[in-house]
Structure 1
């Protein structure tokens, strides 16, 4: 079942996604060598609760924390721990909140100190791929046009696209229909209509696209041990140009 959102609902979702964006901004201030991923998680949980919202991931299907924090070759769903960030690491922080009955969801992959040029390039291209996908999220296009644009940009730069993990619809539930793959053929899939809210989230690997799940039952890693990057925005399909509800401005200002 696909739920198209009213303008009132989109306004509420704008508030929940703004809080996600601000939470990621708070986390960005703390990212440095020697900082544990669990301490980043605590910052996020306190900030979300102080702003009258609930962490969306905490307890979701039994997930133990507020943030999914994935380091280096971890793709997504990493569990915060006592691990201390090191110079040259990359760290994906995926954050979700529930505010006023609606979910917000966004992710950003941060550099810790100075990162190797080839890793920095992976981050840049993955973020570009996110925006290439968002450009296609307009009324009249098809769902797979989003994935096609992401895949084309990633593979043009000799990276691979994770197939098993996908974006999703979002609203009163964290994960709604439709699923949003980061690959696909143009002109295929659901015809996009104004008011469809999607979380678009490319996961792009430096090496091969193969992944597996670690023994913790959550963390997804690259099979070849090479780095992976992940960026995510929640957007609204509109006529002419998609509306981005989340934002990276609090991270990048």
Structure 2
């Protein structure tokens, strides 16, 4: 019982320290030897505490690095529906900011025009935004907005919500989207713009969005940090 109490005490203290952000995400805990000396217990007792931390999702073991602190705050991102980043984070009551790093006119890139079966000279506004949650860069959004319906995109409105601008200011009715989800290796731009903490892959969501008359309005490539989001859906089995 004494041993049980010791390892649980260590577990609870370390878990509390992680919850209070005394350890940063991706940072290693002290070594087994150091913890055993700190708590005046055997290494086996420390291992039990660390095992408990792994089982409850606080840490993971990495070869050559020891016990690495995991992120405890993942956000559920709905697979179905068209929910903007602002709408999602408002529900979660999280402090967020958006930085616009590109807002320029061009034509639809060839790869995207082929994917959508559209003319490659379709004029669009290319908008690139980096999303921050708690001052960490976690999403890159690349948007291509059809100039037929969006003649310009004020940067201030893009920092807030492009859907709010399109629906309230322009009077457009956004209706549906086709989405594709993949996990892909990080790019040079990902490394430059996102706080990756050593991640080698990101979740990429490609969406083509349409108005109620089926007209194309937006193509988005959204690159999400792997450890920050869970993509969720509600599914109902159809009667045969």
Would the TM-score normalized by the shorter structure come out above 0.5?
no
- Larger relative CO (CA 8 A, sep 6+): 1 or 2? 1
Which structure is larger by alpha-carbon Rg, 1 or 2?
Answer: 2
**Structure 1 length as normaliser, TM-score?**
0.27
**Structure 2 length as normaliser, TM-score?**
0.28
